[in-house]
Structure 1
Amino acid sequence: MHPTRTTRPRALFAMGRRHRDALFPAAAIRRLAAHVDIDPDHVAEDLAHEPALAEVELLITSWGCPVIDADVLARAPALKAVVHAAGSVKHHVTQACWDRGLAVSSAAAANAVPVAEYTVAAILFANKRVLDIGGLYREHRAPLDWARRFPGFGNHRRTVGVVGASLVGRKLLELLVPYDLDLLVADPHIDAARAAELGARHVELDELIGASDVVSLHAPALPETHHLIDARRLSLMRDGATLINTARGSLVDTDALVSEAATGRIHAVIDVTEPEVPPADSPLYTLPNVLLTPHIAGSLGGELQRISGSAIDEIERYCSGRPFAHAVRPSALATSA
Structure 2
Amino acid sequence: MAPKVLVSDKLSPTAVQIFRDNGIEVDFEPDLGKDKVELMKRIGEYDGLAIRSATKVTEKILENATNLKVIGRAGIGVDNVDLNAASRKGVIVMNTPFGNSITTAEHAIAMMFAVARQIPEASASTHAGKWEKSKFMGVELTNKTLGLIGSGNIGSIVASRALGLKMKVVAYDPFLSEERAAELGVKKVELDEMLAQADFITLHVPKTEKTAGMLDAAAIAKMKKGVRIVNCARGGLVDEDALVEALKSGHVAGAAFDVFAVEPATDSPLFNLPNVVVTPHLGAATTEAQENVAIQVAEQISDYLLNGAVTNAINMPSITAEEAPVLSPFVKLASHLGAFIGQMTEEAIESVNILYDGKVSEMNTKALSSAAIAGVMKAQNPDVNMVSAPVVAAERGIQCSTTTQEKSGVFDSYIKLTVKTAKKERSIAGTVFSDGKPRFIQIKGINIDAEVGRHMLYTTNDDMPGIIGTLGQTMGESDVNIANFTLGRSEAGANAIALLYLDAQPPVPVLEKLRQTGMFQQVKPLEFDVE
TM surpasses 0.5: yes
Computed over aligned residues only, the root mean square deviation of the Cα atoms, in angstroms, reads: 3.5
**Share of identical aligned residues, percent?**
25
After alignment, is 292-301 or 81-90 more displaced? Answer: 292-301
In 2 relative to 1, CA 107–252 (structure 1 residues): closer, same or farther, beyond 3 Å?
A: same
Q: Secondary structure at the match of 1:32?
A: helix
Distance 1:207 1:217 in 2: 15
Alignment of 1:1-337 (within 5 A): 8-14=2-8, 20=9, 22-25=10-13, 27-35=14-22, 36-41=24-29, 43-44=32-33, 45-46=35-36, 50-69=40-59, 72-99=61-88, 102-127=91-116, 129-131=117-119, 134=122, 141=131, 153-266=139-252, 267-276=254-263, 280=267, 284-299=270-285, 303-318=289-304, 321=307, 323-324=309-310, 326-328=312-314, 331=375, 335-336=381-382
**1:116 Cα deviation from its structure 2 partner:** 1.1
Say whether the 8 Å CA contact 1:213–1:240 is kept in structure 2.
yes
Structure 2 alignment gaps of length 5 or more: 317-374, 384-531
In the alignment, residue 110 of structure 1 is paired with which amino acid?
A: G
Alpha-carbon contact 2:47-2:67 (below 8 Å) kept:
yes
Provide the C-alpha distance between the structure 1 equivalents of 2:123 and 2:219, rounded to a whole number of angstroms.
28
Determine which structure has the larger helix proportion and give its number. 1
SS of 1:262's equivalent in the other structure is: helix
Task: Quote the Cα distance in structure 2 between the aligned partners of 1:78 and 1:8.
Answer: 13
For 1:132 and 1:264, locate their aligned partners in 2 and report how far apart those are by CA, in whole Å. Answer: 19
Paired position in structure 2 for 1:3? none
Cα displacement (A) at 1:228: 0.9
Distance 1:133 1:93, change over 3 A: closer
Give distance in 2, aligned partners of 1:209 and 1:38.
51
Helix, strand or coil for the counterpart of 2:215?
Answer: coil
Who is 1:17 aligned against? none
Instruction: Tell me the CA shift for residue 269 of structure 1.
Output: 0.7
Q: Distance in 1 between matches of 2:43 and 2:5?
A: 9
How many angstroms apart in 1 are the aligned matches of 2:261 and 2:146?
24
Q: Deviations over 1:181-216 (max 9, x none)?
A: 222222223333333344322222221121111101
User: Which protein is bigger by CA-based radius of gyration?
Assistant: 2
Q: Which segment drifts farther, 173-182 or 29-38?
A: 173-182
Q: Quote how far apart the aligned CAs of 1:133 are.
A: 9.7
Q: Indicate conservation of the 8 Å contact 1:195/1:202, yes or no.
A: yes
Q: Partners of 1:53 and 1:278 in 2: how far apart?
A: 31
Give the direction of change, closer, same or farther, for the CA distance of 1:66–1:289 in structure 2 (3 Å limit). Answer: closer
Q: Which has the higher strand share?
A: 2
Which residue number corresponds to residue 529 of structure 2?
none
Q: TM-score, normalised by structure 1?
A: 0.78
Gap regions ≥5 residues in structure 1: 1-6, 15-19
After superposition, give the CA deviation of every residue in 1:136-164 in whole Å (9 maximum; x if it has no partner).
99598486699xx66xx422232111212
Evaluate the alpha carbon distance shift between residue 277 and residue 316 of structure 1 in structure 2; reply closer, same or farther with a 3 A threshold: closer
Which letter does structure 2 place at the counterpart of 1:336?
P
Partner of 1:79, secondary structure, is coil
Rate the CA distance shift 1:144–1:279 in 2: closer, same or farther, 3 A: closer
Whether the aligned pair in 2 keeps the contact of 1:104 and 1:328 (CA below 8 Å) is: yes
Q: For 2:93 and 2:45, how far apart are their aligned partners in 1?
A: 18
Q: Structure 1: how far apart are the matches of 2:295 and 2:38?
A: 28
- Quick check: 1:47–1:66 contact (8 Å CA) kept in 2? no
What SS does the aligned partner of 1:225 have?
coil
What is the Cα deviation at residue 243 of structure 1?
Answer: 0.4
* Offset, 1:84: 0.7
User: How far did residue 9 of structure 1 move?
Assistant: 2.1
**Number of equivalent positions:** 317
Partner SS state of residue 29, structure 1:
helix
Greater shift after overlay, 214-223 or 318-327?
318-327
- 1:264 CA drift (Å): 2.3
Specify which structure has the bigger relative contact order, considering alpha-carbon pairs within 8 angstroms and separated by 6 or more residues.
Answer: 1
How much has 1:74 moved relative to structure 2? Answer: 4.9
**One-letter amino acid of the structure 2 residue matched with residue 34 of structure 1:** D
- 1:4-54 deviations in whole A, cap 9, x for unaligned? xxx64221234xxxxx2x3233x4422322222122248354379635444
Residues 1:53 and 1:262: Cα distance change in structure 2 (over 3 Å)? same
Which position in structure 1 is the counterpart of 2:462? none
What SS does structure 2 have at the residue aligned with 1:60? strand
Gap change, CA 1:62 and 1:133, over 3 Å in 2: closer
Question: What amino acid sits opposite 2:263 in the alignment?
Answer: E
CA deviations on 1:62-103 (whole Å, 9 max, x unpaired) are 21222353x554544543322111321133141243355544
Q: Could you tell me how far apart the structure 2 residues matched to 1:226 and 1:235 are?
A: 17
Of 137-146 and 202-211, more deviation after overlay is shown by 137-146
SS in 1 for 2:7: strand
Residues 158 and 55 from structure 1, CA distance in 2 versus in 1: closer, same or farther, beyond 3 angstroms?
same
Q: In 2, distance between residues paired with 1:47 and 1:133?
A: 44
- CA gap of 1:141–1:178, structure 2 versus 1, over 3 A, is same
TM-superposed CA distance for 1:118, in Å, is 0.8
